[in-house]
Amino acid sequence: MVYATNNFYEQVIKMLHKESKSDRNKRFARIWSLSRSDAGKTQEFMAAGLGVSKKTIQNWEKGVSAPDLYEGSEWFRVLGSNPMPYYLAFLYPWLFDGIKPEDGDEEIEQALMFLVKNMTTPEKRELLYLMAGRHGSPWYSLLQMFTAHCHCSLRSRVTAARTILENYEMDQACGALVCPGNVQPDMKMLHHAVEEGKQSVFNQLSGYTNADVSTAD
């Protein structure tokens, strides 16, 4: 199996060296065309949101030219989508490009193990708490709740997230948290995500961006 080891990253470098610049351009361009198509947005919509011409959008999607780092970030902000699936498919196509729930067990395990291996330490601690913490909820039941939640509309997800956020803050203030000594949620990020999701609903977008809030006030 392919996990995130030194040998794994050596394979990444070898693949990039073998791949022609033209092929890399095509795969990079697919980030923009596929994400826009998935969100159901037009090239005109993206051009207006980014303050560029429709021709520029067409060039990005054809691989004639490419957005810089900031423009790429703005693309997903305007689109209202999570960029991670598209970047993963570009960087690690054999793991994530076209991966489907009905794929074989080995393919699913490889992709999942890669993601877990590359989580930050706080993320791993939170995942362990969810799966094995003494909070009283079976992991499988939590998993079904998360899955159902992610299938709901953005409006429904924002409403549920705000309820959870406020419940947590009230229980914290009352000293009623179930596991106060265990890992706690990143409330700054949760507040930001709820507000971003709410704004996206108001803007009639189809998702939200996992923006970096480490420098936010």
Dump pLDDT digits (tens) for 19-58.
777 888 889 999 999 999 998 999 999 999 999 999 999 9
Whether residue 20 is found in the same domain as residue 75: yes
pLDDT for 2 equals 41
pLDDT for 102 equals 85
Whether residue 108 is found in the same domain as residue 53: yes
pTM of this structure: 0.69
The yes-or-no verdict on residue 77 having pLDDT over 90 is no
199 versus 178: the higher-pLDDT residue is 178
- End position of a domain, from candidates 118, 147, 168: 118
User: Each residue of 114-145: pLDDT tens digit?
Assistant: 889 889 999 999 999 999 999 999 999 999 99
177: alpha, beta or left, given left = phi > 0 and alpha = psi -120 to 50? beta
Whether residue 103 is found in the same domain as residue 150: no
CB 81 within 8 A of CB 211: no
Whether residue 47 is found in the same domain as residue 107: yes
pLDDT for 12 equals 61
CATH number of the domain within which 35 lies = 1.10.260.40
Whether residue 28 is found in the same domain as residue 84: yes
Whether residue 143 is found in the same domain as residue 110: no
Whether residue 107 is found in the same domain as residue 172: no
Q: Could you tell me the two tokens for 47?
A: 């051009």
Q: How many domains does the chain have?
A: 2
Whether residue 152 is found in the same domain as residue 47: no
Give the angle 43-47-48 at the CA atoms, nearest 5°. Answer: 120
Provide CB contacts within 8 A for 35, sequence distance 6+: 75, 76, 79, 81, 83, 86
Which residues span the domain enclosing 5?
Answer: 1-118
Portion of the chain with pLDDT greater than 70, in percent: 86
How far is CA 30 from each of CA 76, 89, 93, 97, rounded to the nearest angstrom? 14, 10, 12, 11
Whether residue 112 is found in the same domain as residue 126: no
Whether residue 19 is found in the same domain as residue 112: yes
Whether residue 137 is found in the same domain as residue 126: yes
- End position of a domain, from candidates 88, 118, 148: 118
Give 149's pLDDT tier (boundaries 50, 70, 90): very high
Whether residue 199 is found in the same domain as residue 97: no
